[in-house]
Homo-oligomer: A and B are copies of this chain.
Amino acid sequence: MASSEDILLSAVLNLLSAFAFLVAFAIPTTQPIKQNVLLKMVSEGSKVPEPELIDHAGLDSAVYIRIYLLGACQLVWEIIRALRSNIQHCDKLSISNVPSGSPRFWAHLPSNAQMYRDLSILILTCPGILQLLQLISLILMQLVVYNANNLAKLVEKKKSYHNWLTYYQTKYERNPKIKPKTKTGFWGLWGETVDAIEYYTAEIEQLNKEETIERQKVMSDPKAIVPAAFVSFKSRWGAAVCAQTQQSSNPTIWLTQWAPEPRDVYWDNLSIPFVELNVRKLLMAAAFFLLTFFFMIPIAFVQSLASIDGIENKLPVLRPLIQMEVVKSFIQGVLPGIILKIFLILLPMILMAMSKIEGYTSLSSLDRRSATKYHFFILINVFLGSIITGAAFEQLQRFVEEPPSEIPKTVGVAIPLKATFFITYIMVDGWAGIAAEILRLVPLVMFHLKNTFLVKTDQDREQATDPGSLNFSVSEPRIQLYFLLGLVYSVVTPILLPFIIVFFAFSYMVFRHQIINVYDQKYESGASFWPDVHRRILVGLVISQLLLLGLLSTKSIARSTPVMIALPVLTIWFHIFCKGRYESAFIKFPLQDAMVKDTLERATEPTLNLKAYLKDAYVHPVFKGVELDRPTALDDEENNPLVATKRSRRSSKSQSEEGV
């Protein structure tokens, strides 16, 4: 165990290095206005008011950085409470306050995203073309979803060939003496050597033909129509009614829900039937359980393969190399750690893939779902795994075989002993991670790698320069870990709190800066993740209360236990209360508000052409920009929806046999 001098030294070193990162970031920005970046970042909080921040970066980002502020203020409050005082300002930011801002959430959404969200719904597993008879007078237009996965592949391929063509044409223009050659095989590395420009021109022509055929096929083949549809309404009121009500007596068909914002749609998952969806969720739940508790088994197996003996046995060729002292010590000392680290880096991707299999239909819900999984993994393998040393499946065994009253005791007793470990963890993982984020070290390295090896044309360079975005599914669970550490240690070892406060305050500044100046958000979900954040904070609170209960019961003040049991009960009750009071703000759109907005819009913008506005919103990206052959929006101008629907499909897709 490290002494307090060690920790102090480490803290000073870490703070200095983080500061050095910031200075390194400040130097390259030579514009006069940005000269004092550090000062600017600190003062930014007062410079950009929140409504402007929401307009600029979206509600998701604005709410996201509020989590950091909430964390910092919560912990400052904890410290001050420990010093028997009180504070007014931070109380305004306490847990119960933030969700009540929900009407403001709706009020300040960036207008585009908001209008799509207000007016459109997504209907899943609808058999055939839409027959929402009872709502038809309210509907502005309907858009069926096509399975355009093959088409998207072809378009992608054509784009890549176009890119190569541009590259060779530029090369030829610069040096007209040499006709550029290429090989017909993979990435031009092998195969027959041909004239590059001619080859790619021919290939693109061929792809054009294929694409036209595929496009025709998608539009005319009834099997290419996915049982899902985006429906836009004439008024917010109509959309709100349809999204909140059940249409058919079988709730698994005509599943109506608010459409995600157009950029937020995850097109691949729009066609999964209800039963399959349930089976997928069951399988993924089992897989996630195994992953969380038994991931160490395959890792240990790979690590054993990567040992000296393992490599010698499998690859005798490498034996002379391995016998070298340097290589040997590297393999023995670093390789197992690297294998584990690689797994942990891949983990969010694995979890995201699992969420995709579960069939969520928007990127935001995929992010939320992955965050839930990652949070549980961190809770078990980082928090509990560090306190009760041993692999997760050993913990699991312990949980099953130990009395429930013993577990909080075991864990509670171990907590004070692990304070120094977590201080180091906060500095290495938290502080250093944030410093790397402000410098954008990883993207920087990736950009230079790509620039050197992959970039051929300006278009490529543009793509390589990805400004990035908030990675909610990874960073939010990490915040929750710090919340949990703050709550657990606020009573036991309050010296941990300043370290977490520095993390939160630092993160707040850095992410605020990134959101304003760097990031380019992929979608806008209206802070739909907030109920998850709220729930996980309360889960952390309950865990900390149970552990405190366990710790106290060992300190022979067991008499206070019955009183202490009231704490988690009240916390859970508070959660249920908040769910009933505030959650609907995130999943429903009150009819009253919808009506008021409709009326306001009609008064202020009587000439707004909603149809033109919404026409292209929910078209598969692969159809965007292609004027001909784009799926026709089925609109309400033909009065009888069923006949009109059939007719319009017939005329545009020359297909009349299919019974609707």
Binding site for B on A (CB under 8 A): 102-103, 106, 133-135, 237, 240-241, 244-252, 254, 274-275, 278, 282, 286, 399-406, 569-570, 573, 576-577, 580-582, 584-585, 588-595
Docked CA distance A133–B594 (Å): 11
Docked CA distance A581–B405 (Å): 38
Q: Is the CB of A585 within 8 A of B249?
A: yes
Measured between beta carbons, the chain B residues less than 8 angstroms from A241 are 241, 245
Q: Is the CB of B577 within 8 A of A248?
A: no
Smallest Cβ-Cβ distance to A237: which chain B residue: B134
Provide the main secondary structure of the chain A interface.
helix
Q: Is the CB of B249 within 8 A of A102?
A: yes
Q: Is the CB of B591 within 8 A of A247?
A: yes
Q: Is the CB of A252 within 8 A of B592?
A: no
Q: Is the CB of B274 within 8 A of A590?
A: no
Q: Is the CB of A245 within 8 A of B134?
A: no
Docked CA distance A110–B473 (Å): 52
Measured between beta carbons, the chain B residues less than 8 angstroms from A402 are 403
Q: Is the CB of A580 within 8 A of B278?
A: yes
Q: Is the CB of B404 within 8 A of A591?
A: no
Q: Is the CB of A240 within 8 A of B249?
A: no
Given contacts A134-B591, A241-B241, A244-B244, could you give 16 more A-B pairs where the C-beta distance is less than 8 Å? A133-B595, A244-B245, A245-B590, A246-B584, A248-B592, A249-B585, A249-B590, A249-B592, A249-B593, A251-B580, A251-B585, A251-B590, A252-B580, A274-B581, A278-B573, A401-B403
Asked, given contacts A286-B569, A401-B403, A403-B402, whether A590 binds B252 with beta carbons under 8 Å apart, the answer is: no
Closest CB in chain B relative to A585 CB, distance in Å: 7
Docked CA distance A404–B569 (Å): 21
Closest CB in chain B relative to A209 CB, distance in Å: 45
Closest CB in chain B relative to A254 CB, distance in Å: 8
Docked CA distance A133–B582 (Å): 23
Measured between beta carbons, the chain B residues less than 8 angstroms from A103 are 249
Smallest Cβ-Cβ distance to A397: which chain B residue: B405
Docked CA distance A90–B589 (Å): 46
Closest CB in chain B relative to A592 CB, distance in Å: 5
Q: Is the CB of B245 within 8 A of A245?
A: yes
